[in-house]
Structure 1
Amino acid sequence: MKHVIIGTAGHIDHGKTTLIRAITGRNTDRLKEEQERGISIELGFTYFDLPSGQRAGIIDVPGHEKFVKNMLAGVIGIDIVLLVVAADEGIMPQTLEHLHILDLLGIKKGFVVLTKSDLVDSEWIDMVEEEVREEIKGTFLEDTPIIRASSTTKMGIEKIINLIDGYAAELKDRDVDDMPRLPVDRVFSISGFGTVVTGTLLSGQLKIGDEVQVFPGDKKARIRTLQVHDQDASIAYGGQRVAANLAGLKKEDIDRGDTIAPVNSMNDTMMLDVKIKLLKDIDRYIDNRTRLRLYIGTKEVLCRVVLLDKEEIGPGDEAYAQLRLEEEVVAKRGDKFIIRFYSPMFTIGGGEILEPNPKRKKDLMTKQ
């Protein structure tokens, strides 16, 4: 059976969490602070059964600009995205930043949901839909449906569920024979059980009893128990949300951004050979050796970009580069990443890993 992960995206207070509650009956805001303030701060997770009988995981991401780091940790592994736009406000800055991030990460399926559609008249919502159509031109959402919905009246909810079901049927099966990789997005401990990590299993299978390693680093553990969608499982497959109870490790031994994989299956690195693409609508140029923030998997790390064939790159430019990292990471060829300015923090582009364990290359400044 296929396994599908659905993700939300969009500006703060546009109704992402409320929409998920209307679809699933569950609240993904688990922190007391989130419930008191009425905003999502951390990633939220739940699931529901599609009309076809397939169980789908859902990741709710925070919409505030201060929590883009958390959003980026959640979108890895998403199959279908719901770009949420409040009908009474329209497109906002974080709507666009989230859309750019999803596009750069290569997500292919999704659609737009106009929430709070019961709060505006038809003339206004027609105008908002036209604005949205203009903003999604040139992205993976360009020709997708725009659903008018209300989480209060349940208008459009059934249509959203059926649309997700149809998209899920079109997804290709993940390679369950590939190497399993679980980028960690949450770590906690349970009394009597020990350390638990959660994440979206990108590929392969994890089984109870498997010996695994925490990358980067050399800490090893054994999978004591597994859960998929809050239910005990003996095997977890690529495309599922997974909670793994790890024997032999303390909570302090693992951080968000680490990757769980078979022992000795990956190599830590301080450099990455990449192809970078900058967004068209930024107003900055990137000079050789500029310090940036790199987001890969669920990890954030500072780096310097060494341009290999140009002195600088600007809006819409592409270039080959070597990223010199300030902390070790692990990656595979073909992995996608996002880059943001060090300060002020905003998304400027992304790219693809060409070589995860390269040799040091000379940059233009060194050659001169």
Structure 2
Amino acid sequence: MDGGLHRSRALCRTAGLRVVRASVAVTATTTIRVVGTAGHVDHGKSTLITALTGMDPDRLREERERGMTIDLGFAWMTTPSGMEIGFVDVPGHQDFIRNMLAGVGGIDAVLLVVAADEGVRPQTREHLAIIGLLGVERGVVALTKRDLVDDTWAALARDELVAALAGTPLAGAPIVEVSAKTRVGLDALVGALEAALAAAPARRVTGRPRLPVDRAFTMAGFGTVVTGTLLDGDLRVGEEVELVPGGARARIRGLQTHRRAIDVAVAGSRVAANLSGIEKDAVERGMVASRPGTLRPTSAVALRLAVLREAAVEQDEELKVHVRTAEVMARVSVLEKDAIVGGESAWVHLRLAEPIAAVVGDRVVVRRPSPSETLGGGVIADVAPVRTRRRDAIVALERRSAPTPLVRLLASLDIPRTASDAADRSGLDARERDAAVQEGLANGEIVALGDALAARSIATDARKRRSPSGG
């Protein structure tokens, strides 16, 4: 890429980072893992990331003056075994939960940080709940500030932490006692992170890349830069992208991962994309950069909403909805009952105040706007729900969330569609799509209609309507 090194250095200067020569080449086959922090305010998340990586993730002057993370911060490292890890450092204060949610949607594992001198605090518990709602299944717990407490106090803090983790995705996760000040335990922490990430599944690749934007800024001489965690496919320098919602188009002038100029950004990696042909004011957090025509905005989503034990959701209640980096107000229509009490779940339609870019399979977290409270979450089953009788809507959603790819694909073949379109509506990757199509054609449940496919029942009904005798 012409000017790649110069652009790389300029990008780093803009982000307030020092420039280093790349020691590991990033290619289309490189596996890069992303870890998000979680934990209560002032428990040492940013300090720990700085000790691990040598980079201060707090990039805003106000953050450094207040000694508190306000927005998302980023850092990275190469472990002794050669593993590439990017860190998304999130704020711990309750006033900035919205920023925390924007940062943890695309991570492979979580690094939960709990200070040994304070123990489990309110945002520790709320972050744990959010981790569960987002489906994050692996992580490591750092018991920080170990230099401030004696062995007896540390043992009490560990016991309290084990109790708090029970019943959460991090129950049984390794707990590593560390001190960012003395560097005690840091090597063990890196080893525990490596082990957790080694067990993480490969990132899903559908061939339709999405870059949910968590940050946009202008770089003098180069224009607009957006950052995010790349999902579902690769992006290349020179490609055209569309910003959804909105439909504005731009071309990728340059790409970076971990300060290094690259030609191809791989799914699952932290990416900075230099975009030409678009002004920074036309881009905002919550938008998604994708290949033109592959992603449509939606103003309604359907999901099975699981409500936290201490919360409740009322019929037609106004909620704040978080999907990837997007945040939007919505009204909830509960399909199975008049309300969802704590600890229960039900199918719902969320009618969004503004359109967002979302796909089947994306995780949703809902919060009450005032007083601010996390209520629950779930997995999107439909991004184009239609108004129909409640019972019919529930049956359709049950099929869309079935455990087998074929049943989910059949639910999307309610009208003739291409295999690719039906797979997108079903949340299937290319491998699952091809296997389901082959199985459906073989057993007769799917019928080919030219370039399209349809469920046999739909095709049969269509033939009956076209037949003069109706048979």
Among 277, 299, 323, the residue aligned to 2:350: 323
Identical residues among aligned pairs (%): 45
Residue identity opposite 2:337 in structure 1: K
**Residue in 1 that maps onto 2:250:** 221
Q: Structure 1-normalised TM-score?
A: 0.96
**Residue in 2 that maps onto 1:113:** 142
Among 350, 356, 362, the residue aligned to 1:335: 362
More strand by share: 1
**Residue in 1 that maps onto 2:211:** 182
Alignment of 1:157-306 (within 5 A): 157-282=186-311, 285-306=312-333
**Residue in 1 that maps onto 2:34:** 5
Residue identity opposite 2:79 in structure 1: L
Residue identity opposite 1:189 in structure 2: T
Q: 1:5 offset after TM fit, Å?
A: 0.2
Residue identity opposite 2:223 in structure 1: G
Q: Would you say the 8 A contact 1:49–1:55 is kept in 2?
A: yes
Q: Find out whether 1:39 has 2:68 as its counterpart.
A: yes
What CA deviation, in whole Å up to 9, does each residue of 1:223-247 have, x standing for no partner?
Answer: 1111111110000001110001111
Q: 1:178 offset after TM fit, Å?
A: 2.9
Residue identity opposite 1:137 in structure 2: A
Alignment of 1:55-204 (within 5 A): 55-204=84-233
Q: Structure 2-normalised TM-score?
A: 0.75
Task: Please state whether the residue corresponding to 2:139 is helix, strand or coil.
Answer: strand
Q: Would you say the 8 A contact 1:216–1:328 is kept in 2?
A: yes
Cα distance in structure 2, aligned partners of 1:287 and 1:43: 32
Task: Please state whether the residue corresponding to 2:48 is helix, strand or coil.
Answer: helix
Cα distance in structure 2, aligned partners of 1:28 and 1:107: 22
Q: Would you say the 8 A contact 2:204–2:231 is kept in 1?
A: no
**Residue in 2 that maps onto 1:348:** 375
Cα distance in structure 2, aligned partners of 1:327 and 1:204: 26
Unmatched 5+ stretches in structure 2? 1-29, 392-471
Among 342, 360, 365, the residue aligned to 2:387: 360
Select the structure with the greater relative contact order (CA < 8 A; seq sep ≥ 6): 1
Q: 1:296 offset after TM fit, Å?
A: 0.3
Aligned residues: 362
Q: Would you say the 8 A contact 2:140–2:193 is kept in 1?
A: no
Q: Would you say the 8 A contact 2:115–2:144 is kept in 1?
A: yes
What CA deviation, in whole Å up to 9, does each residue of 1:123-157 have, x standing for no partner?
Answer: 11111111111111111110111111111111110
Q: 1:300 offset after TM fit, Å?
A: 0.6
Q: 1:363 offset after TM fit, Å?
A: 6.2
Cα distance in structure 1, aligned partners of 2:298 and 2:205: 26
Q: Would you say the 8 A contact 1:308–1:362 is kept in 2?
A: no
- Shift in CA distance, 353/113, structure 1 to aligned 2, threshold 3 Å: same
Q: Would you say the 8 A contact 1:51–1:162 is kept in 2?
A: no
Cα distance in structure 2, aligned partners of 1:111 and 1:280: 24
Unmatched 5+ stretches in structure 1? none
Q: 1:12 offset after TM fit, Å?
A: 0.4
Cα distance in structure 1, aligned partners of 2:206 and 2:135: 22
Task: Please state whether the residue corresponding to 1:20 is helix, strand or coil.
Answer: helix
Q: 1:165 offset after TM fit, Å?
A: 1.4
Q: 1:203 offset after TM fit, Å?
A: 2.2
Cα distance in structure 2, aligned partners of 1:268 and 1:176: 20
Q: Would you say the 8 A contact 1:271–1:360 is kept in 2?
A: no
